[in-house]
Amino acid sequence: MIMGNLKPAWLEALYAQKFFVGCSYHENAKKNEKNICCLDCCTSICPHCLPSHRFHRLLQVRRYVYHDVVRLEDLHKLIDCSNVQPYTINSAKVVFIKKRPQNRQFKGSGNYCTSCDRSLQEPFIHCSLGCKVDFVLKHYKDLSSYLRTCKSLQLNSDFLIPQEMMGDDEMTRSTIVDCDEPMSSSSGSENMSMACTEIVRKKRSGWNVCARSMSNKVSHEDMATGMSRRKGIPHRSPLC
């Protein structure tokens, strides 16, 4: 049981380990990219390392727009992922592992990430798993109610093929998942998730009012400018 603000070792490893780099134990082997996280050993491994970890909990890591992602179905067995915006890649829902800060902060109307200020769809308030974990630890100091017991986690049938790094053009072919499927969660974590949403909505209310006021101000100024414009007196060209 994880108490206080401590994170489980597998979660720390998921953040700290490097993926999609060559495996030092299988340098001469083909497809030796480390795209698997062994949750029991808390390390990243390549497909050639699987015989030594065949009885361990294994989590496949994929690559999406130069960021590490994992399948929502697999991650949801380990931790509550509600309020984290998923994306659809190859007919599978995935979530980002680490934060993705933006250069420009989003302060307009709508949802944005609690940590990165990234624009999100309703009703999501976290753009990645890391953002949600930081938010929960900051406001509740306890992550235990979000963790789930998972004694077995196997790879999918396509785990032998390391995922190639996807370019930015993949974003145009992917679709953002709407909130059409309720995520199951324990009563404690569900109540805390609702409380998290309420905190964020109260925090945003001031910015939303300010954004609407600025919009109204611009609209009135544009109307006044348009009303002040008059056509000039037409002049007929002189006859030759």
Q: In what order do the strands lie in the sheet with 87-89?
A: 62-64, 67-71, 92-96, 87-89, 175-176
pTM assigned to the model? 0.65
The pLDDT value given to residue 109: 65
The pLDDT value given to residue 170: 37
If the chain, 240 residues long, is cut into consecutive pieces of 10 residues, what is the mean pLDDT of each piece?
Answer: 69 95 92 94 95 94 92 95 92 92 65 85 92 92 92 72 39 37 43 58 51 46 45 60
The pLDDT value given to residue 158: 56
107-111 long-range Cβ contacts below 8 angstroms, 24+ apart: 107/207, 107/211, 108/207, 108/211, 109/208, 109/211, 109/212
List the chain domain ranges.
Answer: 9-216
